[in-house]
Amino acid sequence: MLIGLLAGGVAALIGALLSLPLHSPDDAIFNSATVTIAALAAGLVAGVLRRSLSARRFAVAWGGLFVAAIAALAAGESIFERTLSFGLPIAAAVLGTTGLGVWLLDEQRIPRLPVLSAAAAGLAVAAGLGLVGQRDAESGSLSLPAAPAVAALTGASAAVAASTGATGSATAAAAASTGSTAPASRPNALPTWFATPSDVKDVTFVVGEGSQATFTVTEQFAGLPLPNDAVMHSTALTGDIRLDGRPSRMVLDLLRLTSDQPRRDNFMRQMFRARPSAVLTVSALAALPDRYEAGQTVRQTVRGTLAINGVERPIAFDVEARLDGTVLHLLGKTSFVWKDFDIVPPSTPTVQVQDRVAVEVLLAGRPEAR
C-alpha cells in the first residue's frame, strides 16, 4: 500500500502538470484536482495488485486496466467532447508511472517509506488543488494587431493617391470642356490615406474581416477552491464606424458566441434566443486630432448606448484606434453587470457565475463612400 501511495503521489504530480495545457472537456470534472485524486487511487490499486499477483500477472492486469481506461474515455466522447484527447495522455502517464513505480519499488528496501509516501501524497494533493485555477481557460484579452511599417503604409498610399489624383484631374478637365456640372470625382473614389479630419468626411468604415469580441465572466465551480475565468468569443460582428460626427453602429450576433465548453454555449444560446443581437450605438465620436501621423495610436473614451435583451443602457469604452493604410483598427474595453440588462447571472447548482462581465471588442473597418 505504501509503495502504491508513493508511486501514486509521483504520478499525480506528473498528471496534474500534464493536464494544464490540455483542453479539458469540462473544467468542473476534468481538472488538476480530479486528476490528482485519480492518480492516487491508481497508485493504491497498483500497490494492492502487485502484492497479490506475480510480476507477469500484474503486468497483464495493468495493461488490461489501461485498455479499459481507453475504452471508457472513448465512450465518454458521447457525453463530453475532447474526453479522449484530454484523458489519453494523462492515463498513459499516470498508469505508466504507477505500474512501473510499484514494479521497481516493490523489491526495494526504502528507508522511512511511510514518511516518503505521506509526503508524496500530500505534495500531490496540494499541487492538484493549487493548480485548479490554472486550467486551460482561453484568454479574453485582445490587442491591436502589429502595425505595418510606416514607410510601407505611406509609400503605397502615396502611389495610389497619385493615381487617383491623376484620374480626378482628367475627369475635371473633361467636365470643363463639356461644360458639365457633374462632380469632378466619382462618389466611390476614396482617399487612400487619412491625415486630417476632412479626409474622413462622408467616409464610412464598414466592420468586417478581422473583427472579434470577447466576454469574460468569473465562474466558481462547486467543490473547487479557486474560481475560473470563462471566455465567450465571436467574430460575428457587423456595423459602420464614422469618424466625421455621424452616428456609428455595431451589431454582435449573441447566438454565435462560443467558448471551450459546448454545454456553456448551449446555455447561452437558450438565454438569448428571443433577442439574439447586442447593438452598440454611438451618436458621435469625440473630436479627432488635427492631423494624423502614420502608425499613430489615438486613445479616447467613447460613450454610447448598448442594447441587450431588449434593454438599453449607457456605456463607455476605453478605446485605442489606429489606421493601418485604409484599414481602421479599433480596440474597445468595458464591463457591465448582468442586472444592468435585467439578466439573472446564468448560474447552475454546480457553477456560480459572478455578476460582472468584462467586454473587449476589436473592430476592423474598411472605407466605403456612403
Please check the confidence at residue 77 and state whether its pLDDT lies above 70. Answer: yes
On whether the CB atoms of residues 41 and 124 are closer than 8 A, the answer is no
CA distance 282 to 185: 30
In the chain, where are the structural domains located? 2-134, 150-369
What percentage of the chain has pLDDT greater than the value 90?
Answer: 39
Instruction: At 278, list the grid cell.
Output: 447586442
pLDDT for res 149: 63
pLDDT for res 189: 42
Across the range 191-216, mean pLDDT stands at 86
pLDDT for res 42: 92
- pLDDT interval class at 181 (50, 70, 90): very low
On whether the CB atoms of residues 241 and 204 are closer than 8 A, the answer is yes
On whether the CB atoms of residues 353 and 207 are closer than 8 A, the answer is no
Residue 313, number of CB atoms within 10 A of its CB: 12
pLDDT for res 247: 96
Query: What average pLDDT does the structure give for the chain?
Result: 81
Name 217's bridge partners. Answer: 230
Q: What are the pLDDT digits (tens) for 85-128?
A: 888 999 999 999 998 888 888 777 777 778 888 888 888 888 88
Contacts of 318 (CB under 8 A, 6+ apart): 299, 301, 332, 333, 334
pLDDT for res 319: 96
Please check the confidence at residue 172 and state whether its pLDDT lies above 80. Answer: no
pLDDT for res 51: 84
pLDDT for res 80: 77
Please check the confidence at residue 234 and state whether its pLDDT lies above 80. Answer: yes
Q: Which residue in 201, 11, 179 sits closest to 98, CA to CA?
A: 11
Q: Return the CATH number of 150-369, one of 3.40.50.620, 2.40.128.110, 3.20.20.140, 2.130.10.10.
A: 2.40.128.110
Q: What are the pLDDT digits (tens) for 116-152?
A: 888 888 888 888 887 775 654 456 789 999 877 654 4
pLDDT for res 226: 59
Total length of the chain: 370
Residue 282, number of CB atoms within 10 A of its CB: 22
pLDDT for res 105: 80
What percentage of the chain has pLDDT greater than the value 70?
Answer: 83
Across the range 45-62, mean pLDDT stands at 88
Contacts of 303 (CB under 8 A, 6+ apart): 282, 314, 315, 316, 317
| From 83-92, 133-142, 241-250, 354-363, the region with the lowest mean pLDDT | 133-142
pLDDT for res 224: 59
Only one residue has cell 489606429, namely 322
Across the range 280-307, mean pLDDT stands at 89
CA distance 176 to 240: 36
Q: Which residue in 195, 154, 189 sits closest to 288, CA to CA?
A: 195
Percent of residues in the chain assigned helix, strand, coil, to nearest 5: 40, 25, 35
